[in-house]
Chains A and B, each alone.
Chain A
Amino acid sequence: MLKFLSKRIVQIVILLFIYVTIVYWLMEAMPGSFTDKYLMNPKITPEIRQNLEKQFGLDKPAFTRYLYYMKNFLKLDLGISFSHFPKKVSSLIFERLPRTVFLFVTATLVSYILGYNLGKRAAWRRGKILDKTATFVGIVFWTIFLPLLAIFNIWLFGVILKILPLNQFINPNVWRGTDLSAQNVFLNLLLNAFIFLVVMMISLIFAQRVKTVAAKRTIVLSSAVVTLTVSIILWTSTGLGIYALDIILHMVLPVLTLTLYSFAGSMLVMRDTMLEVVREDYVVTAKAKGLPDRVVRDKHAARNALLPLITNFVISLGFTLGGGIITETMFSWPGLGRAYLEALNSQDTPLLIGLLVFTGIFVLLAHLIADVLYAFLDPRIRY
């Protein structure tokens, strides 16, 4: 395992190096030398300019510049953004990263849970009404033009039903008069969600040890309820509840849109793998052992079909930036995707490179996690 991991990490570092190189030269190839832009940016004061010149070797030839960039990259210094001057690219990314991650992890998690359950049932009762409707509806959403779905949701929930805010990250009217930073509240929210996830994981692992289905349910449900209640009490007692709620309400529509858009992907993967697994002899054996239908489906068939889904899940998490561009634009959600579009429009090259590089790191990390998870879930794989 350790040997495998070290091998994999070496591979990933090499891949990352190649990736960053390609991204860098792609940007260099863009018309209008970006070093010139660095130097001619009117916002940059001469002394900063000199610093930059020294740090990034802007007066040196292209290849030396690249070496300088790589050196700075190793120090995680990606330069200074043009459009958000004088913020550093890295601090910009770290400010926006949690928003995108939170949005997408939630949406991906929901859509995978939905996809797993639907796909499992669809394959188990193949050709029946659930299978047919789920596949049809799923594919329509999977191939829908995402802006269309976003507009439709905004129109339906925000304009017609008027139950959810239209877009943006926060409602300024609510926040008027406080000196709270939305970012801080949001980070607390993130922490809360993370704790919730950890508690759920622990209770799930714990539930594995219990025998009856009813006991399993009780454990999982009660732990969920307890954590939720505790966190709600905490939020209200500190008086931040209303702000947190505002953020959450603003998240509902993007999450809903993304979930609808992407659940079919996981559902179809689950359904297809499940169809293969169902034919395996051990599923027939499980049935012959006299196990109830549901146990055969969940414990024997779905457990084995889960493996490809997990990989798929982690990897799709990695692709948040690509998907983020559209969704975040439509919902004016100030995350990485929108930052990318803004950077592109304002020709903010350092930010552009930084965002691309960051996505690469993110995807690669996701691959690594997928590998580890896979080894964890499949006893056959002991690298």
Chain B
Amino acid sequence: MLVLLSVKNLKMHYKTKMGYVRAVDGISFDLDSGEGLGIVGESGCGKTSVSMTILRLLPDNAEFKGGEVLFDNENGEPVNLVSLAESEMRRYRWKGISMIFQAAMNSLNPVYKVGDQIVEAIQNHFPDTPTDVAKKKVAELFKLVGLDPTRMEQYPHQYSGGMKQRAVIAMALSCDPRIIIADEPTTALDVIVQDRILREIRAIQKKLNMAMIYISHDIAVIAEVSDRIAVMYAGKFVELADSVTIFKRPMHPYTYGLMHAFPSVTGKKVDLVTIPGEPPDLLAPPRGCRFYPRCPKGDKLCEEKDPEYVEVDKGHFLACHHPVQPGEVVQFNAE
């Protein structure tokens, strides 16, 4: 059976004066239709680069270093997006995989009306669509995301932050994509607006049975919307499992640390974990496990050898030599 999107050992590095920044360094995952996958990681861990690599929206200094992105294009034969010609690739953008960008505030062009920008996307992929039909479709999308269709004729600066975010979601839906990548869709918003947007995205996803990839630094946000969660650290996935497992039984010490570093509003007021040190420099990451310098469980093996990313349980992938055992309390001795 074909999966919708299959990323295999994807590697993408940025070339700089000091050497290669290994932003995406061997990422693998599958995505089924209708599924919500969350990627969580700290700033600079390469999570945004993953999405940009899949859509091939990279700056000039980015270089592919191997791997495949297999996308099921509905006629039985998956295409490898990495090896497509640029003109071919354009057909898959937005129609196959669309994106909700990190900074929704800035992803609308200030000099065009919002409606026209969405119409442009539709007519680009379906050139035969007359403008009025496309406009009708945009009006429907606006209703779907909870915006007044009359706002189509307005410019982005006349929108509030939450409205812009909704318009961007409507734009992402405009070509009926099979996958939507949402990169920090709510970071700049206040909690109440964030809550509403998250609910809407989730509802639309369920309604249209779309596959989604959520990218965020905030585990709580990811937990609200994803079926499966991947934890990314320094250019690699360290753990991937369904969201309940990740929360109830994290096996990677980093995942464990993240779970326990999060203050809770109403739950028990527990002592928070501090992970010592800083994430590694991706120009020269540690030789062995990339988490080794900060890991309380690290030993000689971790220093020497990078753990392989394997399926340890059904659907539970892990890259760690010394997984956290059930019930174990990991002591991070920070300062």
Give A residues with C-beta under 8 Å from B. Answer: 126, 211, 280-282, 284-293, 295, 300, 303-304, 377-380
- Which residues of chain A have C-beta atoms less than 8 A from B325's C-beta? none
Distance in angstroms between the alpha carbons of A312 and B101 in the assembled complex = 33
- Our count of residue pairs bridging A and B at CB distance below 8 angstroms stands at 72
Find out whether the CB atom of A292 lies under 8 angstroms from the CB atom of B111: no
A76 to B243 CA separation, bound complex (whole angstroms) = 81
Are B92 and A290 touching (Cβ within 8 A)?
Answer: yes
In this complex, how many residues of chain B approach chain A with their Cβ under 8 Å: the count is 29
Q: Tell me the chain B residues, 165-223 only, with Cβ under 8 Å from chain A.
A: 171
Interface contacts beyond A285-B101, A290-B95: sample of 4 additional A-B pairs, CB < 8 Å, sorted by A: A289-B98, A290-B121, A290-B124, A292-B90
Contacts of A377 in B (CB 8 A): 111
Residues of B contacting A380 in the complex (Cβ-Cβ under 8 angstroms): 110-111, 155, 157
| Per-position binary interface string of chain B over residues 83-94, scored 1 when its CB falls under 8 Å from any chain A CB and 0 otherwise | 000100011111
What is the interface of chain B, defined by CB distance below 8 A to chain A? 55, 57, 60, 86, 90-95, 98-99, 101-103, 106-111, 120-121, 123-125, 155, 157, 171
Residue of A nearest to B158 (CB): A379
Q: Which residues of B contact A300 (CB under 8 A)?
A: 109
Contact flag A288-B99 (CB < 8 Å), given A282-B108, A378-B111, A379-B157: yes
The chain A residue sitting closest to B106, CB to CB, is A281
B94 touches A288 (CB 8 A): yes
- The answer to whether A304 and B101 have CB atoms under 8 Å apart is no
Q: Which of A287, A303, A379 contacts B57 (CB 8 A)?
A: A287
Contact B107 A304, beta carbon cutoff 8 Å: no
Q: Of all chain B residues, which has the CB nearest A211?
A: B123
User: Across the interface, do B109 and A304 meet the contact criterion of CB distance under 8 Å?
Assistant: yes
**In the complex, which residues of chain A have a beta carbon less than 8 angstroms from the beta carbon of B57?**
284, 287-288
CB–CB A281/B101 < 8 A: yes
Q: Which residues on B sit within 8 Å (CB–CB) of A290? A: 90-95, 121, 124-125
Which residue in chain B gives the minimum CB-CB distance to A290?
B93
Known contacts A288-B99, A289-B121; is-contact A280 B93 (Cβ 8 Å): no
Q: What are the residues of chain A within 8 A of B123 when measuring CB–CB?
A: 211
Q: Find the residue from A211, A281, A287, A290 having the highest chain B CB count within 10 A.
A: A290
User: Nearest Cβ in chain B — how far from A12, in angstroms?
Assistant: 27
Partner of A289, one of B111, B124, B157: B124
Partner of B111, one of A211, A286, A379: A379
Q: Are B106 and A291 in contact (CB under 8 A)?
A: no
Q: Which of B60, B91, B110, B171 contacts A378 (CB 8 A)?
A: B110
Bound Cα distance from A39 to B142, whole angstroms: 78
In the complex, which residues of chain A have a beta carbon less than 8 angstroms from the beta carbon of B99? 285, 288
Determine whether the beta carbon of A284 is less than 8 Å from that of B120: no
Q: Contact between B106 and A282 (Cβ–Cβ < 8 Å)? A: yes
Distance between Cα atoms of A284 and B107 in the complex (Å): 8
With A280-B106, A379-B157 already in contact, the answer to whether A304 and B111 are too (CB < 8 A) is: yes
Q: How distant is A374 from chain B, measured CB to nearest CB, in Å?
A: 12
Are B101 and A284 closer than 8 Å at their CB atoms?
yes
When distances are taken between beta carbons in the complex, the residues of chain B under 8 Å from A282 are 106-110
Alpha-carbon distance between A295 and B125 when the two chains are bound, in angstroms: 14
What are 13 A-B pairs at a CB distance below 8 A? A281-B106, A287-B93, A288-B94, A288-B101, A289-B98, A289-B120, A290-B95, A290-B121, A300-B109, A304-B109, A378-B110, A379-B155, A380-B111
Q: How far is the CA of A290 from the CA of B171 in the complex (A)?
A: 13
